Structure 1
């Protein structure tokens, strides 16, 4: 679960960097600063994914990335794609952890 979530957040960091490059010529510096804050948080959040707060922060960042479509309209589509990947990381990760717990329980030796 953490590996998939981390991969999504790091890829989003790069996408936000490209979005800021698109926005730099036509928008105010405050929109670039907001994008930079979102990007930096996306780079730091994978370290927090061991706890529930990391997943909550990651979910909030997904909405902020979609919201950046106000500045760069193409970010709406990209944000929705990454939002889907984020949801997939949560669903597939939980399913994988359940299977792993089952395997670990079946490997314990019986006395």
Structure 2
């Protein structure tokens, strides 16, 4: 079986979203530190924790549970808006990107599998 048949477009797109989201979450850490209502320890643990979670998760998307954890990260990114109000918008934006990558990737996988099945049936 060729490499193109086994490569997952959903995994690639979702991993890209998580990597870009990690940058955004990492940059939210100094913003949280600069505002008075968030302690430095909380800002570092939440901001950098979510950043590391995104990067680790980008590599764990071979299993279906990785996508479930990806949805949890999207919820956490939106909830970060309670500390940094701009994150309500950015979290929702990344949630939309994640959902688009997830559902469009699944559709592409189904259509690709159907096309290969039709080609194999035609060639046999």
Q: What is aligned with 1:59? A: 71
Query: Out of 86, 90, 105, which is 2:102 matched to?
Result: 90
Gaps of 5+ in 1: none
Q: 1:77 aligns with which of 83, 89, 100?
A: 89
Matched residue, 2:15: 6
Question: 21, 42, 56: which one pairs with 2:30?
Answer: 21
**2:62 is aligned with 1:50:** yes
Q: TM-score, normalised by structure 2?
A: 0.84
RMSD value over aligned CA atoms?
1.0
1:71 and 1:79 map into 2 onto residues whose CA distance is 12
* SS in structure 2 of the partner of residue 72 of structure 1: coil
In structure 2, the partner of 1:106 is: 118
Q: Number of aligned pairs? A: 110
Matched, 1:34 2:40: no
What is the TM-score of this pair, normalised by structure 1?
0.94
Q: Which runs of 4+ in 1 moved over 6 A?
A: none
